[in-house]
Amino acid sequence: MDIQTEKYALIEYITQIKDMSLVDKLKQFVKANEQDFWDDLTESQRKEIRQGIDQLDRGEKFDYEDVMAKHR
């Protein structure tokens, strides 16, 4: 079977589940296997993002159009 067929079979199976504890376990499994983009960033990238958030928290922001006008 190809992956699409397997996924559709899994979806069909999931829609038939009546046991909430099994649904909860599936949700936990999915959540545990999700990858957070933050984990893929370098420390330098994380630092820049934190700096940007700090600037926004201090009210230091720039209008998009003003920034773009400077670079056109």
Cβ–Cβ < 8 Å for 41, 49: yes
Which of 44, 46, 43 has the alpha carbon at shortest distance from 54? Answer: 46
Per-residue pLDDT tens digits of the chain, which is 72 residues long? 799 999 999 999 999 999 999 999 999 999 888 888 898 899 999 999 999 999 999 998 888 888 788 888
Cβ–Cβ < 8 Å for 19, 27: no
The amino acid at 39 = D
Could you tell me the pTM of the whole model? 0.46
What are the residue ranges spanned by the domains of the chain?
Answer: 3-33, 37-70
Cβ–Cβ < 8 Å for 46, 38: yes
* DSSP 8-state symbol, 41: S
